[in-house]
Structure 1
Amino acid sequence: MLSRLSMKAVPWPGVIAAAAFALLAPTSAIAGDVEFLTQSNANVLWTLIAAILVMFMQAGFGCVEAGFTRAKSAGNIMMKNFLDFSVGSVVFFVFGFTLMFGADVSGLFGSSGFGLSGVAESDLMWTYAFWFFQSVFAATAATIVSGGMAERTKFSSYVIVSIVITGLIYPVSGHWAWGSLWLGEAGAGWLEKLGFCDFAGSSVVHSVGGWVALAGAMVLGPRIGKYTAEGESRAIMGHNIPLAGLGVFILWFGWFGFNPGSTTTADDTIGMIAMNTSLAAAAGVLGSMALSWLRYGKPDISMTMNGALAGLVGITAGCATVGPVSSLCIGLIAGLLVVLSIEFVDKGLRIDDPVGAVSVHGVCGAWGTIACGLFNSDGGLFFGGGFGQLGVQLLGAGTFFVWAFGAGFVLMSAVKAVTGLRVSKDEELKGLDIAEHGSESYSGFQLFSNE
């Protein structure tokens, strides 16, 4: 029963008017309004849950990168992951989001909504959720780069690298493929107008990170002791494989936000996308495990873990447009590719990539993008679609390589020339935890070496 105080607080004229409207309004209109509101709230809730899962992937990246590298620089790896997420969020809010999703300028970049300004009040709640979801993708692209440049990069210089990736390199190319996601046709970039397919970011996110990592590793040069005087590769083992394994499982878990969450809609497609995602990852594990077993005589742990990530990266573009059997094929091929690519980058190109970022994200991201042109249920070559979609996918994969590697190489070279990109030899031998941050990751257990 209402108290006298609450009776006075109730705006009775408004209540009576609302009741009268409800009695007079058609029942179908009321039901439609309720259905619309329910669906809108469900979309916001699902998008936020997915974004939180993707944010947790930062922990996975940190564990993988720290585990695959040496103990003396593990803290530095974690610092860069914290930096990428934090600086990425701020920069993406101030202007990265605008470049990616604002009103289109000649199909090349966005130009409106700086700091989410100009958003209609009725769209604010959805826009906040959408921005948060996209900001964690931007941070992911930057974090991929930190692994390829691990154990010899100046932290102060990496701050600049992270800002440019999340504020310029990622948003500009992201606009080409995803520009319409916020403003519709008014924001569409040139690749999506051609019909380019990359549902959750095999190229937009992963290849961009992988190709910038390739540029960074090339400009930096290899870690001390990685190659002999004759140019032969020497393995530098990671210090904590169980930690890396935990990181892979965290990433696998977070990917169920990455791929199904890219619907930004709570609908009945998210189950299929989740199934395709997990099947591809499992196939990637089996492919890399089998090939490493054949090549090395034993199933290699690190290759197998990278196989899971390769399958996840590979299926990210087509997770909503291919069937489950196609997902198995895409993941299996990605698992095989990552083993061959890691060997080629290391021994063929003599590029030191401590965690396999170039192969996992760059190569397998390109494969996943191209695979849409082969396996898409509607338009793929293997499903009667001809070469049209495949041609667009090849163009897109090549474009992302040229842009990300080219811009990354210019960025790394400029930073190297102005502030220096690499720590000194003594600092590298001592380890970046002490040299760059003045502390040890494993106090009392730190082991030092001369290589």
Structure 2
Amino acid sequence: MEALKSGSDVLFVLLGGIMVLAMHAGFAFLELGTVRKKNQVNALVKILTDFSVSTIAYFFIGYSVAYGVSFYSSAEVLSAQNGYELVKFFFLLTFAAAIPAIVSGGIAERARFNPQLAATFALVGLVYPFYEGIVWNGNYGIQDWLAATFGARFHDFAGSVVVHAVGGWIALPAVLLLGARRGRYTKDGLVSAHPPSNIPFLALGAWILTVGWFGFNVMSAQLIEAVSGLVAVNSLMAMVGGTL
């Protein structure tokens, strides 16, 4: 019975990771539809490479910073409980890789390729795991201090602050530092419109992200016994409300 439960949890988290991984295709199409046609190939390559760099950074550095878990262990140790720790890493990696994806959308057509990849490595390997470990692993005693001072810990079920707010906070200074896109303003200071290059790509990206959100939110329970239909319906109603 224990083996069945462990296997079910692994499958549950693995499916969640696959759904959130698919969201990165949504990020890609969203950005492809937004940038000018001449920059579409660059945007696609950048997003794919960002995810690859994020994987390396999180596997060797970031996951250990956040949770104190090292993958320099034997196969027997890593495959305990049907390899639950490995699929949990994969699931949380897809969260971590959302940070550079969020930043990338904010600074589209403004950043050079290699410096952005270097920034991705630093963000996913060090910066994001620092905040992730504080909130989701209780690092540095900050959660205990909050509980002692205010009577409750900070609760973030699916990364509304840990992932999305942190991504936005990082993107804001990046946008301010890099400034507007070339050609965004005329010599007279007037705005020169850059209409989306591909509306169908924008719509496709939005739909992929919509499906992926259910993996992002619902499967953040990380245990099949903790899954909640309330989270699923809240996610659905948020999507519908935002559309209307």
Is the pair's TM-score, using the shorter chain for normalization, greater than 0.5? yes
Q: Which residue of 2 aligns with 1:92?
A: 58
Given the alignment, which residue of 6, 15, 21 partners 1:49? 15
Q: Which residue of 1 aligns with 2:71?
A: 115
1:263 and 2:225 are equivalent in the alignment: no
Gaps of at least 5 residues in structure 1 are 1-33, 103-112, 181-186, 287-451
Alpha-carbon displacement from aligned partner over 1:301-359 (angstroms, at most 9, x marks no partner): xxxxxxxxxxxxxxxxxxxxxxxxxxxxxxxxxxxxxxxxxxxxxxxxxxxxxxxxxxx
- Is 1:50–1:133's contact at 8 Å kept on the other side of the alignment? yes
Given the alignment, which residue of 230, 242, 250 partners 2:200? 242
CA distance in 1, matches of 2:108, 2:193: 15
Alpha-carbon displacement from aligned partner over 1:270-295 (angstroms, at most 9, x marks no partner): 32211111111111111xxxxxxxxx
CA distance in 1, matches of 2:225, 2:125: 32
Q: Which residue of 1 aligns with 2:84?
A: 126
Post-superposition shift, 1:234? 3.4
Output aligned runs, 1:53-72, within 5 Å. 53-72=19-38
- Is 2:10–2:82's contact at 8 Å kept on the other side of the alignment? no
| Cα gap change, 1:244 to 1:121, in 2 (>3 Å) | closer
CA distance in 1, matches of 2:193, 2:97: 29
| Other structure's SS at 1:199 match | coil
Gaps of at least 5 residues in structure 2 are 147-152
Output aligned runs, 1:205-244, within 5 Å. 205-229=163-187, 231-244=189-202
AA of the residue aligned to 2:193 = A
**Which structure's CA Rg is the greater one?**
1
The structure carrying a bigger helix percent of its residues is: 2
Post-superposition shift, 1:122? 3.1
How many equivalent residue pairs? 236
Q: Which residue of 2 aligns with 1:176?
A: 134
1:190 and 2:142 are equivalent in the alignment: yes
RMSD: 2.0
CA distance in 1, matches of 2:55, 2:144: 25
Output aligned runs, 1:344-363, within 5 Å. none
CA distance in 2, matches of 1:192, 1:229: 55
AA of the residue aligned to 1:223 = R
Alpha-carbon displacement from aligned partner over 1:136-188 (angstroms, at most 9, x marks no partner): 111111111111111121111111111111111111111111115xxxxxx57
Q: Which residue of 2 aligns with 1:146?
A: 104
CA distance in 1, matches of 2:144, 2:220: 16
Q: Which residue of 2 aligns with 1:157?
A: 115
CA distance in 1, matches of 2:6, 2:144: 25
| Cα gap change, 1:120 to 1:244, in 2 (>3 Å) | closer
| Cα gap change, 1:93 to 1:192, in 2 (>3 Å) | farther
AA of the residue aligned to 1:122 = A
CA distance in 1, matches of 2:6, 2:124: 29
- Is 1:43–1:264's contact at 8 Å kept on the other side of the alignment? yes
Given the alignment, which residue of 23, 38, 42 partners 2:4? 38
AA of the residue aligned to 2:20 = V
CA distance in 1, matches of 2:185, 2:22: 35
> Structure 1 length normalisation: TM-score?
0.50
CA distance in 2, matches of 1:248, 1:276: 18
Structure number with higher relative contact order (C-alpha < 8 Å, ≥ 6 residues apart) = 2
CA distance in 2, matches of 1:210, 1:147: 10
Output aligned runs, 1:388-427, within 5 Å. none
Identity %: 38
- Is 1:46–1:266's contact at 8 Å kept on the other side of the alignment? yes
1:284 and 2:236 are equivalent in the alignment: no
CA distance in 1, matches of 2:30, 2:79: 41
AA of the residue aligned to 2:55 = S
Alpha-carbon displacement from aligned partner over 1:80-102 (angstroms, at most 9, x marks no partner): 11112111111100010011111
- Is 2:78–2:85's contact at 8 Å kept on the other side of the alignment? no
